[in-house]
Amino acid sequence: MRAILTPDVAPLTGTVIFKPGNELLSLFRSGKVLVSNVPENLRDTPAGRLSDSDQPLMDNPSIIDFMCQDEVIAAAGGSEVLRDHVRRFHCCQFESEEYHHKHYTTLKSGTGYVSLCYTHDNNFRDVHVPQPLQEVAKLNTANWVIGRVIYNLSLPEGHQLNLPELCCWAFLRGLVHLLPEDVVRAILNRPPAKILSGPQKESTILPFDNSGRHIIEEGAVAVKQVLAISVDPESPESFMRRPKRKRWVNEKYTRWVKSQSCACCGQPADDPHHIIGYGQGGMGTKAHDLFVIPLCRKHHDELHADQGKFENKYGTQLELFFRFFDHAIAVGVIG
């Protein structure tokens, strides 16, 4: 059992008094108790009992609610796979001193399942499932989803899943719009939502939306389109036998490229590097401003000093360009 306790510190003496309450008294009766500083990921967690799971994400109720949504369960493998997972528990998850049958089955609760013996399955089937069992079903689902995410991302067994990894999986499965607002704010380094109190004007009252959809949409709006590409299939030069080549120039786009992260190290870029080689950047010429990648000064100098060595280390310029060009289109800079 884990818990966050709020201490009362006696003045001057330095004495610390913990008030665990009836729910947590068993912590202190069980023997040794480890007291440590609250880790950063639990800094804003209210005092009280935490989940017994080895996964830190299980301590966030909004993440558990996210994992219990139908779309998330479907993306993780489906309700039947979840049921098969719970069926393998071979135990009764209803805590009771009553008789437990030696055979077990599963009972659906909400979008999840609990493992019950035949005795308690008969007690609760076709009637209202008690709140404690509903919570157990949600924890079963969340633990299963975490395991599936770890498997899908090829992470080692027993890995402690963190928030960026969960969001990466949600992005790959098209579930980002379902992420709760506090999770999205944490990922985007946004401050917590302000909770208004007292009398409010009717115009300030908005429909409640616990998802992070509007935060993501705000971020998308913040990326202004820099470049709009048009296609002219009947340009005059295309009908000439020996047309004079024109170099495509767009200072607005190269300024944006320069403001991005270095394609090699992720640090702030210093230059928009124009591709050299591959038929580009010959003697006295320069590649079109479209064929550029952001590089910091260190890696820009490294590329021009030895192109072959650079590409063996970081990948070819075409590979770096393709990834960056795909990013520019995906975020709406190129349209």
**Digit-coded pLDDT (tens) for 233-269:** 777 877 788 877 788 888 889 999 999 999 999 899 9
The region of weakest confidence among 2-16, 83-97, 136-150, 299-313 is 2-16
Q: Which two tokens stand for residue 147?
A: 């395991």
**Digit-coded pLDDT (tens) for 81-94:** 999 999 999 999 98
Average pLDDT rounded to a whole number, residues 139-168: 89
pLDDT of residue 234: 77
Could you give the CA distance from residue 271 to residue 309 in angstroms, rounded to a whole number? 20
pLDDT of residue 14: 54
Average pLDDT rounded to a whole number, residues 204-218: 51
DSSP states of 134-173: HHHHHHHHHHHHHHHHHHHTTPPTT----HHHHHHHHHHT
Could you give the CA distance from residue 55 to residue 217 in angstroms, rounded to a whole number? 29
Task: Check whether 309 has a pLDDT greater than 60.
Answer: yes
- Using an 8 Å Cβ cutoff, are 185 and 191 in contact? yes
pLDDT of residue 44: 61
pLDDT of residue 292: 92
Distance (Å) of CA 44 to CA 5, 52, 186: 13, 18, 12
Give the DSSP H/E element, type plus range, for residue 295: strand 292-295
**Digit-coded pLDDT (tens) for 35-53:** 777 666 566 666 666 555 5
SS3 315: coil
Per-domain boundaries in the chain: 2-50, 59-187, 247-330
Q: pLDDT band for 106, please (50, 70, 90 cuts).
A: very high
Which residue in 171, 106, 113, 172 sits closest to 142, CA to CA? 113
Could you give the CA distance from residue 34 to residue 16 in angstroms, rounded to a whole number? 15
Rounded mean pLDDT of the chain? 80
pLDDT of residue 170: 87
**Digit-coded pLDDT (tens) for 51-83:** 555 788 888 888 999 999 999 999 999 999 999
